[in-house]
Amino acid sequence: MIEVLKKIWRFAGEEQKNIRKSIIGGFFYAIFHMFQIAAIYVIVLALVDGSTSTAPAWQALGLLIASILGRAVINRFTQLEQTHAGYFMVANKRIGIGDKLKRIPMGYFNDKSLGELTGITTTVLDEVESTGPMVLVGILGGLINSLVMFLFVLAWDWRIGLLALLGMVLYLLILSAMEKRSARIAPKRQKAEAKLVEAVLEQLQGMSVIKSFNLTGKGDKRVRKAMEDSRDNNLAIEKLFTPYTMAQEIVFHVFSVLILVMAVLFCLNGAMSLANALMAVVVSFLIFSQIQSAGSGVSALRLVGSSIDHANQVDSIQEIDEHGKTVCPAKHDITFEHVDFSYDCRPILKDVSIVIPDKTTTAIVGPSGSGKTTLCSLIARFWDVDRGSVRIGGTDVKDYTLESLMDQVSMVFQKVYLFADTIENNIKFGRPEATHEEVVAAAKQACCDEFIRSLPDGYNTVIGEGGATLSGGEKQRISIARAILKDAPIIIFDEATANVDPENEDKLQRAMEALMQDKTIIMIAHRLKTVQKADQILVLDAGRIVQKGAHQELADQPGLYRDFLTARREAAGWKLG
């Protein structure tokens, strides 16, 4: 139990100060709680002595008012500190996870890892947020209150105090046994909760497929299994706790009765005054209440500890720029030297060696699955190569910090992701300090200013997550505006005009050409007029560079590029009969 409490304390980080204040407040809460018992004792003494004075009543009233007001003020203070600690320690962890994810290879992200991360940042951390500080403060506060109560009883009658101590020790032994048993099942429960989130997320993402194939109610076996596992694990924990909870209740009631019986016997034997015997009766109902409140938190303690362990797993993911340094190269030539790369164990690129000179345009063509996008992604170090090296300006991309590497590269992909934010903030994503005028200028170059101004709130229009409220062409143009505004020296286009409507394609092509001036350009393209203007063309097939040269040079020799040209010309000549 102590180890788990330490774990929560370490997880709290900067919020330890607020938890510490809450625990100190708990000590004073216990002192004010004793005022209540003192008030009862004043009245009992007056009744036993047969006093008719109003003084004891006023004294008891004063003690009760002080107890009520003191506990109310301290309880408000401790609750605020405790709540602040819960929200902010988890908020800090979520921010830390977000920062961590920016520095790990893109190869880490897949459906499984996204579901796992979603489960951690929602369900798992929600449990820590709502329960962590409450458990820590509740257990320590309860123990402090129990200690104050015990010292009070011990000073008043040492025999009753020792009996109460024996009851507390037995209770804590049962509590320790329960906590150890829960250690085995708590991690299973957390994994089941994370898998449930993962399964539900996958179900929601694939809902269009489920509906299109009329699989509603049939294609959700994984979700149903995850729900059943979550239910079974939660029930198992409750079944585990039940016998221990019953044993604790029995200990409390038995020792309360023993205290009451001993007080009566001592009184009859003359070893205890009537007033003290009556107080023992009162104390027998109160003495175990504080340690019981501490024990109720232990049932959740192991679950919180398991949740923290689960969340901390993200810290062990290897970062890509742990040893990087800030690099600002004078030139932006790109070199691949004998690069091999695989997804899991599936080879994608094989012994790729190329040079992309500074301030030139390189087009990459090849069949689907030949490794074109992967080659571009290695430049931005979305993944690390298995063998060889990728260099920008003569420096291996592994020697850059992530920030300085990303300063060199702008990427415009065919699959565009926009955030649930204003259009202006989406365009400013690569350069947050840009002014509104600069945003508008970039949007005009990307041919999206007109449609943005037609929206209800113009540049302040909030778009749906992923850009769901915009068409494919509109998202593409905003993505290009984002790249124009960032103005990085290396620009990578992955079929950037694929989703652009025909009436804006020529304008966008001119904007892209203006953007490409004095920059190192890599473009994955399938349109002939885009490819033939490149300084060099790389032809990929099955992960290897099979041809390399200028358009006319490759067009004059047999091979994959000539086949590519033939296919494009035939497609351009198609007519509807």
Residue 486 forms beta bridges with which residues? none
If DSSP codes are grouped into helix, strand and coil, which group holds residue 362?
A: strand
| pLDDT number for residue 577 | 44
| pLDDT number for residue 576 | 45
| pLDDT number for residue 391 | 93
Give the mean pLDDT per block of 10 residues along the chain (577 residues): 75 84 84 84 84 86 92 88 85 85 69 67 77 73 74 78 84 78 67 69 63 56 75 76 82 85 86 82 73 66 74 77 77 92 84 91 86 86 88 89 84 78 87 89 85 87 72 80 87 72 66 75 77 86 88 85 75 50
> Nearest 5°: phi and psi at 539?
-110, 115
Question: Per residue, what are the HEC states of 427-471?
Answer: HHHHCCCCCHHHHHHHHHHCCCHHHHHCCCCHHHCECCHHHCCCC
Question: CATH number of the domain at 2-183+245-316, please?
Answer: 1.20.1560.10
Q: Please name the amino acid found at residue 181.
A: R
CA 142 vs. chain centroid, Å, equals 31
Report how far apart, in Å, the C-alpha atoms of 515 and of each of 82, 278, 487, 505, 525 are: 53, 90, 8, 15, 17
Q: Are 371 and 546 in contact (CB under 8 A)?
A: no
Nearest to 148 by CA among 133, 168, 131, 134: 168
Domain ranges of the chain: 2-183+245-316, 334-572
Question: CATH number of the domain at 334-572, please?
Answer: 3.40.50.300
Report how far apart, in Å, the C-alpha atoms of 464 and of each of 69, 421, 461, 469 are: 50, 7, 10, 6
DSSP H/E element including 228: helix 221-268
